[in-house]
Structure 1
Amino acid sequence: MARPNDEVAAVLQEYADLLAITGGDAFKSRAYEKAARALAGHPADVSRMDAKALRAVPNVGASIAEKVVAYFRDGSVPELDQARKSVPAGVRELVAIPALGPKKAMTLYQDLGISSVDELAGAIRSERLRGLKGFGPKTEENLLHGIALLRQSGQRVPLGTAMAVAEEVVAALTEVPGCERCAYAGSLRRMRETIGDVDVLVAADDSGPVMEAFTALPFVTEIVAHGAKKTSVRTTEGLQIDLRVLPADAWGAGMVYFTGSKAHNVHVRQIAVRDGLKLSEYGLFDTESGERVASATEEDVYARLGLPWIPPTLREDRGEVAAGLAGELPDVVTRDALRGDLHTHTDLTDGVATLEEMVLAASRLGYAYYAVTDHAPDLFMQRMTDAKMLAQRERVRELDGRHRRMRLLHGTELNIGPDGAVDWPPQFLAGFDLCVASVHSHFALSRDAQTRRLLRACENPYVNVIGHPTARRLGKRTGIDADLDAVFAACARTGTALEINGQPERLDLGDEEILRARQYGVRFAVDSDAHSTPGLDYVRYGVGTAQRGWLTADDVINTWPLRKLKRFLRKEGREETSG
């Protein structure tokens, strides 16, 4: 189910975590962490590579390469197995709690015998952590919040994880003889940020072969229910997948019914009842005669109810039905409308691909322009310097237009400090084509302080985009506490775009904030924040989130022609620079 690259990356990351928990060599732990990221982001299938080829992957040394080969050959890594024995499973579970690092997890186990999330929650409430070095009242508060986040996310998986599973299922079932159509539906099709379970529909006259192929998929670990019309399984990652088989002539009705949301379906069914009709997964029926009046396509079903086809990402009962009836549905932005990506990284900082590799991969996506925005120096672990950035700029200029005439923009991702200041002085910032500014630290500042720092960043004449504006990490960290309406108003006033970051663990801004921000006239940038060539595909999740926020192409600056985009990037009152 998981890509081999992701699979072995998880193994190496676990080993890095275990080294950190046990107080092992910090350099070694960091090396394994870097190798895990590099392999996850490598475009080729690393399971097919020998040790020599693996050593050519950045940050993969000889020892790690041998472990990767051994893992795919034997199914295990002896050093990892040994490390697992030295750390109780409960301690490894504790590390998953946001705000609890490996050293503190081991301290809790050694000093208090805490080896599970439930035990930690109980210990905090009974004040057993009081007096333990490094665990004050604020730490306790953060830990309880982290436990709540962990439990909340435990029943759902990130959009990207669910999408990878669903696409593999759809690809496999499409090849089954007799399968006429196959697609995923449900909250996944609506591109919600987290997914409870995956719904897959198949159109076939005989469900038997499809159900048999479904339950035989290699990543299925449990058959929850098995029937002729519906079968449910659980995967190795604990995700439930529900498969439903429908007649081909009911496909459209089935896709409407099982895409949802529940509230949207209730609203649509109310219209059907008003018109003397009844809607089910098999079609739209005349209540009196029982005659089926529409079913083959979603367009047919909606049209019979007096509605245009409603994009799945809008089907949340947030006004889309009324807008459809009034002929006012937005023409939502699509991935094809994107002309470029304005937030990406290379191996100059924390990316795993070279500048040349990222540029080539972007050109293959058909972009008209592409921005490189490596981290600035205040994110100190990236060791950025003026000289490094200027050398990269020179190379960007050399590559400009070489690949399918794609234009290159040299940018940076600045760090918004606690007071709203950014890394470089104005004279250095003036040399960039664009600047993304993001919060990377000081997440616990007061609401007023967070708001002030964001407002100051918006008002900086060289800041073009506020990157991942709330700094949230789904299931790991809530967004910063700021007056977002004040920020939205400032962005509209200063001509600063808000990012919709496509990283599945971010999706920041989220759809509800987008809906609010657009009321202020804010412009947006849908970006991948890619740190590898496969990561460029994350824009698909950003686009889905933008659609959920009812955005059109005109709302998104990286759908614009380059000349119009450059005018926006100059910001009102600042002259264009030649750097």
Structure 2
Amino acid sequence: MARLNDEVGALLQEYADLILLTGGNAFRARSYEKAARSVGGYSEDLAHLDEEGIHKIPGVGDSTAAKIAEYLATKHIAALDKLRAQVPPGVREITSIPTVGPKTAVQLYRQLGIKSVDELRAAIDADKVKGLPGLGARAVENIRQGIDQVSRAGRRSLLSTALDLAEELVAAISEVPGCTRCAYAGSLRRMRETVGDVDILATARDSAPLMAALRDRPDVADVIGSGPTKTSVRTAKGLQVDLRVVPTADWGAALMYFTGSRAHNIKLRGRAVKAGMKLSEYGLFDVETGKKLASRTEKEVYAALGLPLIPPTLREDRGEIEAALDGELPDLVTLKDLRGDLHTHTDLTDGLAPLEAMLEAAAGLGYAYYAVTDHAPNLAMQRMTDDKMLAQRERARALDRTYHGMRVLHGTELNIDADGGVDWPADFLAGFDICVASIHSSFNLDRGAQTRRLIRACENPFINIIGHPTTRLLDRREPIDVDLDAVFAAAGRTGTALELNSSPHRLDLNDEQIMAARRHGVRFAVDSDAHSVPQLVGNQRFGVATAQRGWLGKDDVINTWSLTRLRRFLRKSAVRE
């Protein structure tokens, strides 16, 4: 379920943005932006904090604390409401376009009266934007591409956003008197990286109370339609929710039908037809007699079709039915299989928590080992130095085994330069237990250059993992143009793991890329890329689900291995197992 911390963090971020949009002090805006990140990433729930507790949140001063307290008491922040009145909502929306900051958004508004993304698109089409200060032909084209990207992303929600809502709805509807079962289905149950709408399935003798519970929620902005079997609403954040209520006896068939992709369901129906049966959301029937053969559970319906239960994350018609028939469905990796996390950050760079807090949280997850991998110096904004990194190494060594015996690995996230080089020389890199290397700049290099830089990184004997290999951000940035097949081949050849970054904004590599890389013998690291305790605890469920969608088993993922086996793998000259 969504945390109050995230809600308040988003309001503080909006306040920071509006300070800049109204010409306010940039330093003040940055302080609120920092506070927004800190509140959102704080491990304790705001709902349980008193005034003293709020003041203990890093980056929260008296003014910010007062605004948080005001919101907790009234659900409003007067200063925020005042700034909102000065800026049309669409102007802030324009800043969500990649390459468009507050200064440009304000310039567009003041000089051309542009106050929405649609108006900006129309102005670009009419050639009214080019020529404004700082907006040459290339900048305008980048904005146009950014608008297209935002428009595509806007039609779907991140998996994490949809899942927060779905879990909240399932919990609420389950509490309605008369509800006997409730679960989410659709692409969300298949754990796709983005979700178009949220499908909720429930059972009850009388559907009316369940439908009313959904319609009457305060976050429902519009009731699209409502009847005895289905109600559709749209939330204030634009997500469509479809609630279906079915008879208890049909639960399995309905859950199966509303979970599988269209292609998966067509393949199943074809199999039923060949066997003289008919499959629908109401059950599996004998065509000749009309007798219902199976419907109560998914396992029962699959079994009647001559199949084992196929995990929801595989139901995409990518060979899972054929594999099931041959007894070759993968034994998928699970969250409980993870023994550690190999890509995390602390407040030494851009994380929000000290090393000790991250270690305590990792130990609480039952991890056998944990790697801290703060940023290297070429990411200049993080102000890393050799001395800072060596001091952290000494601290990590001192804390080794002190948290329930968990081993602490000292690592770093290196920056892959445009030519494939990294931050430190070989003698310095040799001192790390583990090195992740990622692209953080030069996103617009041509395909050949991007491919060469990643292959060179794979060939570096000190680089163990390529972090978020395509660099994409699902809601903000397109992936780089790269020959992934060549990179996968290099990773397989050199014994370099590829990351499945579990941040719901990344999920990079994605499921189809994982399947392609696996054919080259690549191993994978499912990492949180956590910058806070909540991310350390919460991100990995998304990465594991994506790993399952990519057909990965436990043996494919290096952070499910024992520390002894992992250390052998990290010595890239050793023979891979």
Equivalents in 1 of 2:357, 2:48: separation in Å?
21
* TM-score of the two chains, using structure 2 as the length reference: 0.97
Counterpart contact for 2:191–2:313, Cα < 8 Å: yes
1:158 aligns with 2:155: no
Match of 1:245, SS?
A: strand
Change (3 A) 1:88 1:180: closer
The 5 Å alignment of 1:10-409 reads: 10-409=10-409
Match of 1:86, SS?
A: coil
User: How far apart are residue 489 of structure 1 and its match?
Assistant: 0.7
* TM-score of the two chains, using structure 1 as the length reference: 0.96
2:571 partner letter: R
Equivalents in 2 of 1:155, 1:446: separation in Å?
29
The residue aligned with 2:539 is 538
Match of 2:85, SS?
A: helix
The residue aligned with 2:493 is 493
Counterpart contact for 2:339–2:368, Cα < 8 Å: yes
Equivalents in 2 of 1:155, 1:109: separation in Å?
25
C-alpha offsets along residues 384-425 of structure 1, whole Å, 9 cap, x if unaligned? 122221222222122221222211111111111112111111
Counterpart contact for 1:416–1:438, Cα < 8 Å: yes
Larger deviation: 546-555 or 388-397?
Answer: 388-397
2:473 partner letter: R
1:66 partner letter: A
Equivalents in 1 of 2:93, 2:253: separation in Å?
43
The residue aligned with 1:506 is 506
User: How far apart are residue 475 of structure 1 and its match?
Assistant: 2.5
Equivalents in 1 of 2:91, 2:98: separation in Å?
14
Counterpart contact for 1:22–1:103, Cα < 8 Å: no
Change (3 A) 1:108 1:498: same
Match of 2:347, SS?
A: coil
Equivalents in 1 of 2:155, 2:518: separation in Å?
31
User: How far apart are residue 168 of structure 1 and its match?
Assistant: 0.7
Equivalents in 2 of 1:506, 1:112: separation in Å?
35
C-alpha offsets along residues 533-557 of structure 1, whole Å, 9 cap, x if unaligned? 1112111101111111111111111
User: How far apart are residue 142 of structure 1 and its match?
Assistant: 1.3
The 5 Å alignment of 1:410-449 reads: 410-449=410-449
Match of 1:500, SS?
A: strand
C-alpha offsets along residues 69-114 of structure 1, whole Å, 9 cap, x if unaligned? 1122222222222222332323212111122111111122222222
Equivalents in 1 of 2:121, 2:560: separation in Å?
47
The residue aligned with 1:555 is 556
The residue aligned with 1:467 is 467
Counterpart contact for 1:190–1:315, Cα < 8 Å: yes
Counterpart contact for 2:253–2:296, Cα < 8 Å: yes
User: How far apart are residue 123 of structure 1 and its match?
Assistant: 2.1
Counterpart contact for 1:525–1:556, Cα < 8 Å: yes
Counterpart contact for 1:51–1:62, Cα < 8 Å: no
Equivalents in 2 of 1:561, 1:175: separation in Å?
42
The residue aligned with 1:577 is none
Larger deviation: 24-33 or 269-278?
Answer: 24-33
Equivalents in 1 of 2:393, 2:552: separation in Å?
33
Equivalents in 2 of 1:173, 1:126: separation in Å?
49
Equivalents in 2 of 1:434, 1:227: separation in Å?
57
1:549 partner letter: G
Equivalents in 1 of 2:21, 2:496: separation in Å?
42
C-alpha offsets along residues 322-361 of structure 1, whole Å, 9 cap, x if unaligned? 1112222211211111111111111111111121111111
The residue aligned with 2:451 is 451
Match of 1:370, SS?
A: strand
Equivalents in 1 of 2:143, 2:90: separation in Å?
16
User: How far apart are residue 499 of structure 1 and its match?
Assistant: 0.6
Match of 2:63, SS?
A: helix
User: How far apart are residue 136 of structure 1 and its match?
Assistant: 2.1
Counterpart contact for 1:152–1:475, Cα < 8 Å: no
Equivalents in 1 of 2:474, 2:189: separation in Å?
19
1:427 partner letter: D
1:437 partner letter: A
Equivalents in 1 of 2:164, 2:13: separation in Å?
20
Match of 1:241, SS?
A: strand
What are structure 1's unaligned runs of at least 5 residues? Answer: 575-579
Change (3 A) 1:566 1:503: same
User: How far apart are residue 573 of structure 1 and its match?
Assistant: 5.9
1:313 partner letter: T
1:74 partner letter: T
Counterpart contact for 1:223–1:233, Cα < 8 Å: yes
Match of 1:180, SS?
A: strand
1:472 partner letter: R
Equivalents in 2 of 1:54, 1:67: separation in Å?
11
1:330 partner letter: P
C-alpha offsets along residues 263-299 of structure 1, whole Å, 9 cap, x if unaligned? 1001100000111111111211111111111112111
Equivalents in 1 of 2:244, 2:130: separation in Å?
53
1:481 partner letter: D
Larger deviation: 104-113 or 205-214?
Answer: 205-214
2:511 partner letter: D
Equivalents in 2 of 1:227, 1:87: separation in Å?
40
User: How far apart are residue 175 of structure 1 and its match?
Assistant: 2.2
Equivalents in 2 of 1:443, 1:14: separation in Å?
27
2:74 partner letter: D
Equivalents in 1 of 2:77, 2:373: separation in Å?
36
C-alpha offsets along residues 512-534 of structure 1, whole Å, 9 cap, x if unaligned? 11121111111111111111111
1:557 partner letter: I
Equivalents in 2 of 1:429, 1:22: separation in Å?
46
Match of 1:228, SS?
A: coil
Counterpart contact for 1:47–1:69, Cα < 8 Å: no
C-alpha offsets along residues 8-38 of structure 1, whole Å, 9 cap, x if unaligned? 1111101111222334222211111111111
Equivalents in 2 of 1:355, 1:277: separation in Å?
59
C-alpha offsets along residues 213-244 of structure 1, whole Å, 9 cap, x if unaligned? 33333422332222222112222212111111
Change (3 A) 1:390 1:30: same
RMSD: 1.5
Larger deviation: 397-406 or 81-90?
Answer: 81-90
The 5 Å alignment of 1:509-524 reads: 509-524=509-524
Equivalents in 1 of 2:25, 2:456: separation in Å?
41
Larger deviation: 422-431 or 184-193?
Answer: 422-431
2:471 partner letter: A
2:355 partner letter: L
Equivalents in 2 of 1:371, 1:314: separation in Å?
30
